[in-house]
Chain A
Amino acid sequence: MNNARYTKDAALIGIAFAVIVFQSSVVSRVAWPLNGPNFIFLLFIPWVLSETPFRAALIGFLMGAVIDLAPPGNGPAGQWALVMTLIGFGLATYAERSRDLVQSPLVEVGIFALGALALLLAWGILGLMVGDDRASAKYFFQFIPTSLLWNVVLAPFVLPVVRKTTFVRRVRR
């Protein structure tokens, strides 16, 4: 039982790493109209929704740290780590309290969109606080809406897959 769980965790960490590399070396290189989707969010949000807050915070921190430190990351180390820890914890806490989360696909996509918005906004606000030039008006008013649009369009196809992969732990009690 425990062994299966560790195997699954290892597999998920591998997948998360692969998705981060995939995002930077493939997705970012395609000339998407309107910025394009973020597969890191598409994995991260449904994943933490099926975890305990404790594990969600850890997952957020680790994924964020890899994004911060892996090339070609250029922001201050810890920026994504902080944002993803907080939002991961928040989402997992919310999911724990409302058990009927995946009752309707519409609700699921809605929560995903809110999660993605929270991540993008938190990154931008933190960027403003530490004086990062990239957290500009263009980021808030152009990048965030278009990025959300892409993610929401892809969400109905990707979320069920991620949910099925991480679902086992949802039936913890």
Chain B
Amino acid sequence: MNRDRRRARLVLGVLIVISLLAITLDLRGGSTFSGPRNVLSGVVSPVQRVASNVTRPIGRFFSDLTKINSNREKINKLTADNRELRAKRVEDKATSGKADLLSQTLNLAASGGYRVVPAQIISMSQSGFSRTIGIDAGSNSGIKPDMTVIAAGGLVGRVVSAAANSATVLVITDESFKVGVRLAGTQALGVISGRGSGVLDLELLDAQTEVRIGDELVARGSVGAKPFVPGVPVGRVISVVQTPGALTRIAVVKPFVNLATLDIVAVVVSPPKTDPRDSLLPRPMPTPTVTVTVTATPQAVASPTPSPSKS
């Protein structure tokens, strides 16, 4: 009995020391644990892939249970819509939906000049507060850590680790996530940080910058395009926090990508040759219509009016 207890204490001590050692080594950076992580990933990812595919309908069922009321209205409307659609479309709906999502993602990539690897989400983090997702493509497809991950709409996150056939992505809403951004149009610089919920915090570096609700943000791009390639749409300002006297301006941003319904993403494996600037934002920037009224006033010669159009 006493021997048992001593043995238990001994093993407890040994395990604690091993854990602390592991934490310290891993926090110091480096790739001490990439070996075991890759091995486990190789074992777990296929299982996750299968489990995710098999149980997706079950998961959806429970998700739906949580919003039965609002769904009832939707169901009535959708039933009507569906009847109409079924007559028109013979195509498999699920497949075409997925194809749409994929093609939207690829369109974004193509118009930005990014070379991407599409991937499907096969897992999400164990705990609700840390936001990482697992995808079904890895280093065999050319994915490496610190690559940008996008989806239809814009930025999803960045790759934090890649195994042979799977990779882990840190999502933009994670509390440790930060990305440099530009306000579309004014080019003012800022930093976006996740805060563990559906919205993001924006901190503008210059307190004098004018920022309004509805302003849109694109990723500024990192040095050498790692971890962020330039020009990826990030989100739209939904409220501005008044901070008189502060050195920076704070605003709340809603990401363009709907992270709750994310299914297909694309990993940018090579950055664009030129910065796409604001061209990837969801709706085209309103083209400024210049109306010039030229009134012939022969007297006024003091200031020559610049002619906006070269004919």
Using A89-B8, A138-B196 as known contacts, say yes or no to A61 and B126 having CB atoms under 8 A apart. no
CB distance A134 to B66 under 8 Å?
Answer: no
CB distance A85 to B15 under 8 Å?
Answer: yes
* Chain A hits for B128, CB < 8 A: 28, 32, 35-36, 143, 147
CB distance B174 to A21 under 8 Å?
Answer: no
Quick check: is A86 within 8 A (CB to CB) of the other chain?
yes
* Chain A hits for B125, CB < 8 A: 24, 28, 72-74
Main secondary structure of the interface of B (DSSP, over half): helix
CB distance from B292 to the nearest CB of A (A): 53
Question: In the complex, A141→B163 CA distance in Å?
Answer: 35
User: Which of B18-26, B93-101, B182-190 is near enough to bind chain A?
Assistant: B18-26
CB distance A30 to B62 under 8 Å?
Answer: yes
* Chain A hits for B127, CB < 8 A: 28, 38, 143, 147
Given contacts A54-B7, A69-B33, A138-B129, 16 further A-B contacts (CB under 8 A): A21-B47, A21-B51, A26-B55, A28-B127, A29-B59, A32-B66, A57-B15, A72-B123, A74-B168, A75-B130, A81-B22, A82-B15, A85-B15, A85-B19, A139-B129, A143-B127
A-B contact pairs, 18 of them (CB 8 A): A21-B44, A26-B58, A38-B126, A40-B126, A53-B5, A57-B12, A61-B15, A71-B48, A71-B166, A71-B168, A72-B125, A75-B130, A78-B19, A78-B20, A81-B19, A133-B174, A143-B129, A147-B127
Which residues of chain A have a CB within 8 Å of any CB of chain B?
20-26, 28-33, 35-36, 38, 40, 52-54, 57-58, 60-61, 64, 66-79, 81-82, 85-86, 89, 93, 126, 130, 132-134, 136, 138-139, 143, 147
